[in-house]
Amino acid sequence: MKKLEDSLTLQLLRARESAMTFFRPVLQQAGFTEQQWRVLRVLNDHKELEAKQLAHLCCILSPSLTRIIKSFVEDGMIIRIRSHEDQRITLLSLSDKAKKLVSEFRPDVDAGYKQLIDQLGEKKLKELSSLLDEVIKLSPPNK
């Protein structure tokens, strides 16, 4: 068995925590949790999504996403719209208020990415991203 400190899953968690140090101050200033920011960012980039699609893209479990959506709807940040093609489907989109907040804090988030790239290097970051994509696409052998 590998030593605990060599565990891939622990290294990935530590790397995530290290990377988030570049963004947490901005999110705290904006008053958002990491999950809330992911929801805002993904909806900003995709315009309209079903909750299931949003959960997948944000890597958020449905119960947590349900709470975030409920809170954002109450705060006027997310709008629920019935699909024109299928009235059974509810689509989620950002309100103008939310779009304004995303555009207000996006430069600070982008500055966090720049700091990360400045320290790690663009080439290494691209290599890391490529390796992580490979790990994401792995599937366990059938038993």
DSSP string, 43-55: HHHHS-B-HHHHH
CA–CA separation, 132 and 130 (whole Å): 5
Determine what percent of the chain is predicted with pLDDT higher than 90.
80
Please tell me whether the overall predicted TM-score, pTM, comes out greater than 0.75 for this model: yes
What is the per-residue pLDDT for 141?
Answer: 80
Q: Residue 113: inside a domain, yes or no? A: no
Average pLDDT over residues 76-84: 91
CATH code, 68: 1.10.10.10
Position 35 pLDDT exceeds 90: yes
Percent of the chain with pLDDT over 70: 97
Total domains present in the chain: 1
Helix-helix angle 51-58:62-74, to 10 degrees = 110
- The pLDDT-based confidence of 134 (bands split at 50, 70, 90) is very high
In a domain, 97, yes or no: yes
Q: Give the range of the structural domain holding residue 69, as residue numbers without chain letter.
A: 25-104
Tokens at 39, concatenated:
């929801």
